[in-house]
Amino acid sequence: MFFRKAGDGDGAGNTGGGLPAGLPGQEIWNNGGQRIAMAKYENIDWSECSLVEIKAGVQSGAPVLRGTRMPVDAIVDNFDYGVSVEEIAEQFEIPADRVEAILNYAKSHRVAHRI
């Protein structure tokens, strides 16, 4: 399952059909014609999550699942876009209980940023 931001184009010269930009603090994503509004001014503090590590030489310092190169933001973003826990676990070949643990941690540690 792939998502693209409205207006990014689909490789065939289409630019998202002129979809509106959304409300302040939102991005509009297009999932095969389904529009999804996402908050874009929040972050997750992963510093206390035992399942996550941050190393400068791994994925440019992005938070990843411990012992892997799998960015945890990919898990959270896919779930936020409507992909199920089971689909994420299958797509990224990780146990569903780890996906659920990451999502539960993310839900309780989201930090809004001022614009």
Q: Is residue 69 domain-shared with residue 108, that is, in the same domain? A: yes
Asked if residue 102 lies in contact with residue 75, where contact means CB atoms within 8 angstroms, the answer is yes
- Residue 23 vs residue 70, higher pLDDT: 70
pLDDT at 42: 63
- Determine what percent of the chain is predicted with pLDDT higher than 70: 59
Distance, C-alpha 88 to centroid of its chain: 11
Q: Is residue 17 domain-shared with residue 72, that is, in the same domain? A: no
Can you spell out the DSSP letters for 32-82? TTEEEEEE-SEEE--TT-TTEE--TTSGGG--EETTS--BHHHHHHHHHTT
- Determine the structural domain holding residue 80 and report its residue range: 42-112
Confidence band for 95, pLDDT divided at 50, 70 and 90? very high
| Cα distance between residue 79 and residue 115, in whole Å | 24
pLDDT in tens, 20-66: 444 444 455 555 555 544 444 468 889 899 999 999 999 999 999 99
Q: Is residue 48 domain-shared with residue 59, that is, in the same domain? A: yes
Q: Total domain count for the chain?
A: 2
